[in-house]
Amino acid sequence: MKLYISGNSPYARRARMAAREAGLADRVEEIAISGFDQLLELGPGGKIPVLITDEGRSLCESLIITRYFNDLSGGRLLPTEPAMREDCLALESVASVLMDSLFVRSMEQNHREEASRSNAVLQREAERCRRCYDTLEKMVVGEGDTVSLASIAVISSLGYANWRAPEDDWRDGRPSLESYYDHLMQRPAFSDTAPAF
């Protein structure tokens, strides 16, 4: 399989981490994208990551790709017990909202001319991020060493916050989230894919 990525994308990192934790790293070749035109050749989405399966199908959404890796691994990244699975999905959903909110802020702040930036958008998304950090602080209590699609999403989102929104200082007043992040970052799949900035 071929996984098209860019180095610091939290969405691509999510897929890269899932491949490693699912035990599929030796089956997935990571290819750094060279430009937007190359992305359009891989599918209509024009965004990364994109996975080309062994059968030649193009999967162009990180949530679909991570679930595909989970299925290939026999379900290593999602609990099978219904209540635990719901807890996992709930945690993953908050981390996904955080990632998307951080992305919107980054696009507004870093890819729009200053005169065209919307302070209202930046403030709304900063507040959304704060709510997500506060919610994650409560949700990760008791998660421990569990590695799942949820923990992958949380660590990817917080790593992205470290890079693109350091002013959030998400660690401040959130000791459970800080401990959770620092503990999981000791895993090679998590540390080896961290953004470089």
Same-domain status, 88 and 111: yes
Q: CA 161 → CA 122, 154, 168, distances in Å?
A: 14, 11, 8
111 shares its domain with 169: yes
The tens digit of pLDDT for each residue in 138-159 reads 999 988 888 999 999 999 999 9
Domain boundary among the residues 47, 72, 97 is at: 72
Nearest Cα to 9, choosing from 97, 124, 106, 77?
A: 106
Question: Do 13 and 33 lie in a common domain?
Answer: yes
- pLDDT tens, residue by residue, 60-88: 999 999 999 999 999 999 999 999 999 99
* Domain contains 197: no
50 and 103 in a single domain? The answer is no
If asked whether residues 45 and 122 sit together in one domain, one would say no
| CATH number, residue 106 | 1.20.1050.10
Q: Would you say residue 112 has pLDDT above 90?
A: no
One domain for residues 24 and 92: no
Residues 31 and 126 in one domain: no
Give residue for tokens 């994308």: 9
Overall domain count for the chain: 2
Which residues, 6 or more positions from 184, have their beta carbon under 8 angstroms from its beta carbon? 147, 151, 155, 190
Which domain CATH number covers 59? 3.40.30.10
pTM of the shown model: 0.95
Q: Give the phi and the psi of residue 3 in degrees, each rounded to 5.
A: -115, 115
Domain extent for 59: 2-72
98 & 183 share domain: yes
